């Protein structure tokens, strides 16, 4: 029985990563990393010693770098914020009628399809529709049996108690900006509609490398009793940060930043119109042709197509196909059409993020895509 391997190869595709000027995305692994950074930063360090053969200019540069690093006591992280299309409470909802919130926004951060803008902290009747950067992650959960003295009427009894402890890492952010913002999206509506998942909203936070920003609190949620011999404990290890700003990206490229000024509460807005290459959003694995599988034929097929402004593709055609028996090298392949039909059918289902010029989606013609078909021995 042969195993089937399908390899997808992309030509002239530039893949973008999130460029946040070396800002790290905050997730559940960040707590431990930041604790280590605080520990390392808090340890006293002696300045470097000039070596016997070290020139004065070289030593001064090393010394300058050392003292600059000593002053870098703040790190910046980006906290992911959920971005939805805007929805509103309607009069058919009983809860909305009871609370008097018919017509109020459902989400604190969303894209309005009518106004074609992104709203942050949209005002609502209850004054509660604010972005929160607080995050909580379960770090550990333990359970053990301990002997405890528990009151039973007027007497005390020693019983086995199941002590269940849940430990959470919690991010607390001071002074999060809750003011209402409107972010213009300099893309045509169809581009936003078809590539909405490429938009990402972030909350920027500043963390001072100090033990004063680490704290721990433990509470007993349930005491053990004769009837319920279980004690439930919750521990929260809290990291405190300060709000720094909001950031909107598209495919990893910065679109807009809203940075809170260090001097006062003035908000500074920067806007960019990026040029970007097309990027595959949906990759399709073609069906290995049965006849080729039965005959033990490997090969590949290169197809050509156009990527439209909305990311769909058309004008698909096979431009090259090569085949050979299992175990042969590609240098011994011969021209064939065996895999052309399967490759064209797979290409029809593909989806791309379109190329952008000055923030506007444009059509790209003659894109090449290679499907490789290989059977193991």
User: Could you count the other beta carbons within 10 Å of the beta carbon of residue 178?
Assistant: 14
Chain Cα centroid distance, residue 349: 25
What is the structure's pLDDT at 276? Answer: 66
Q: Is the dihedral of CA 8, 340, 361, 197 positive or negative?
A: negative
- What does the pLDDT read at residue 140? 94
Closest CA to 129 of 107, 100, 110, 111: 107
With a cut of 50, list the residues of the chain below it in pLDDT: 1-21, 261-273
- For position 57, what pLDDT does the model report? 83
pLDDT, tens digit, for every residue of 137-148?
A: 999 999 999 988
- In this prediction, residue 10 carries a pLDDT of 32
CA dist 368 and 306 (Å) reads 9
Tell me how far apart the terminal alpha carbons of the chain are, to the nearest angstrom.
8
How is domain 4-16+277-372 classified at the CATH fold level?
A: TolA/TonB C-terminal domain (3.30.2420)
Dihedral angle, C-alpha 87, 91, 94, 95, nearest 10 °? 50
> CA 160 → CA 147, 219, 232, distances in Å?
5, 21, 14
The answer to whether residues 229 and 150 touch, using CB atoms and an 8 Å cutoff, is yes
**Do residues 239 and 214 make contact, with C-beta atoms less than 8 angstroms apart?**
yes
So what's the pLDDT on residue 105?
85
CB-neighbour burial class of residue 285 (10 A; exposed 0-12, middle 13-18, buried 19+): exposed
Give how far the C-alpha of residue 123 lies from the chain's centroid of Cα atoms, to the nearest Å. 27
1-17 b/e with 16+ CB inside 10 Å = b?
A: eeeeeeeeeeeeeeebe
Q: How far apart are CA 342 and CA 285, in angstroms?
A: 10
289-318 CB burial, b ≥16 within 10 A, e <16:
beebeeeebbbbbbbbbebbbbbebeebeb
In whole angstroms, give the CA distance from residue 313 to residue 20.
31
**pLDDT by residue (tens digit) across 322-365?**
999 888 887 788 999 999 999 999 999 888 888 877 667 888 88
Domain boundaries, the chain: 4-16+277-372, 79-271
């Amino acid at each position: 029985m042969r195993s089937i391997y399908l390899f997808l190869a992309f030509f002239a595709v530039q893949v973008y990563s999130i460029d946040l000027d070396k800002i790290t995305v905050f997730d559940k692994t960040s707590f431990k990393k930041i604790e280590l950074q605080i520990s390392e930063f808090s340890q006293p360090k002696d300045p470097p010693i000039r070596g016997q053969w070290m020139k004065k200019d070289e030593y001064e540069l090393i010394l300058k770098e050392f003292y600059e690093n000593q002053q870098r006591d703040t790190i910046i992280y980006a906290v992911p914020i959920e971005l939805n299309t805007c929805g509103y409470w309607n009069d058919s909802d009983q809860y909305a009628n009871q609370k008097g919130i018919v017509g109020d926004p459902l989400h604190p951060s969303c894209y309005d399809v009518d106004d074609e803008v992104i709203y942050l902290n949209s005002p609502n009747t209850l004054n509660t529709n604010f972005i929160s950067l607080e995050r909580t992650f379960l770090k550990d959960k333990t359970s053990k049996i301990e002997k405890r003295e528990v009151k039973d009427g007027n007497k005390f009894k020693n019983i086995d108690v199941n002590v269940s402890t849940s430990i959470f890492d919690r991010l607390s952010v001071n002074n999060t900006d809750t003011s209402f913002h409107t972010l213009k999206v300099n893309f045509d509506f169809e581009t936003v509609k078809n590539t909405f998942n490429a938009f990402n909203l972030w909350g920027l936070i500043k963390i001072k490398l100090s033990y004063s920003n680490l704290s721990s609190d433990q509470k007993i949620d349930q005491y053990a009793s004769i009837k319920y011999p279980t004690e439930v404990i919750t521990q929260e290890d809290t990291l405190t940060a300060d709000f720094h700003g909001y950031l909107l990206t598209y495919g990893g490229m910065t679109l807009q930043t809203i940075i809170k000024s260090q001097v006062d509460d003035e908000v500074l807005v920067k806007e960019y119109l990026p040029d970007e290459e097309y990027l595959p959003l949906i990759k399709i694995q073609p069906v290995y042709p049965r006849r080729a599988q039965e005959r033990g034929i490997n090969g590949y097929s290169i197809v050509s197509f156009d990527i439209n402004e909305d990311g769909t593709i058309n004008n698909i055609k096979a431009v090259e196909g090569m085949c050979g028996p299992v175990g042969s090298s590609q240098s011994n392949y011969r021209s064939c059409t065996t895999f052309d039909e399967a490759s064209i059918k797979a290409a029809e289902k593909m989806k791309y993020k379109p190329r952008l010029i000055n923030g506007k989606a444009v059509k790209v013609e003659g894109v090449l895509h290679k499907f490789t078909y290989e059977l193991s021995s």
